[in-house]
Structure formats: structure tokens, C-alpha cells
Structure 1
């Protein structure tokens, strides 16, 4: 069973962008392994809250300019 796990800042993607990521990731696995993997492919998108990730002693907060803009 192919499995993809994406971790990204909370509010970085809209619902539509997450759905697109699931579809494109599934299609990538199908292109690589064949159509038989489609029903068994799992794509998990985990959203990490602001301040819940960092690098080199720097804690990250997602700037407003990078937050998803829902059209709804």
C-alpha cells in the first residue's frame, strides 16, 4: 500500500488545494506502480500549528502572506 505523509504549516493550504494534493499524489503512485494501487493508496496531510516546528533554534510562524486564501 503506497503511503504519502505531508506535514505543513496549519492554514497553508485551502481545502481545494489539499484535495488537489491528494489526487495528484495518488496519480503519481498510479503512474509509478500501476492502476492496481489506486484503491490502496493513502495520503495523509498533517497540519502543524504555528510555533510547532522550527529549524536551527528558530521557531516558525506562518506569515499572513503565505496563509491560504479560501474563496468561499
Structure 2
């Protein structure tokens, strides 16, 4: 079973954007593994809380201007 795990900052994407990522990631894997993989493909989008991720001692917090607005 193909499995994709995507980690994003909390509230960075809208529900619609996450759904699009799921569909596009699934389509990409189907391109590699054939249509038979579609019903078995798992895409997990994990939202990481602000301050819960860092690089080289820099803790990241998403600016309000980049937060998604679910419509």
C-alpha cells in the first residue's frame, strides 16, 4: 500500500487545499503503480503546532498573514 506522510504548519492550508494535495498525491502514485494502487493509497497530512518544528535552532511560527481561511 503506497503511503504519503506530509507535515505542514497548523492552519497553513485550508481544507480544500488539503483535499487537493490528497488527490494530487494519489494521482502521482497511480502514475507509478497503476490504477490498481488507488484504493490502497494512504495520504496523511499532519498539522504541526506553531513552535513545534525548527531548523538550526530557529523555531518556526507561521505568520498570521499566511494562515489559511476555510471557506
Cα distance in 1 for partners of 2:25, 2:34 equals: 13
Is 1:28 aligned with 2:48?
Answer: no
Deviations, residues 6-47 of structure 1 (Å, cap 9, x unaligned): 001000100000100000000000011100000000000000
Cα distance in 1 for partners of 2:52, 2:69 equals: 21
Is 1:59 aligned with 2:59?
Answer: yes
Where does residue 42 of structure 2 map in the other structure?
42
**What stretches of structure 1 of length at least 5 have no aligned partner?**
none
Secondary structure of 2:5 counterpart: strand
Cα distance in 1 for partners of 2:67, 2:32 equals: 32
Alignment TM-score, normalising by the size of structure 2 = 0.96
Deviation for aligned residue 1:69: 2.1
The number of residues matched between the two structures is 71
**What stretches of structure 2 of length at least 5 have no aligned partner?**
none
Q: Over aligned residue pairs, what C-alpha RMSD do you find?
A: 0.7
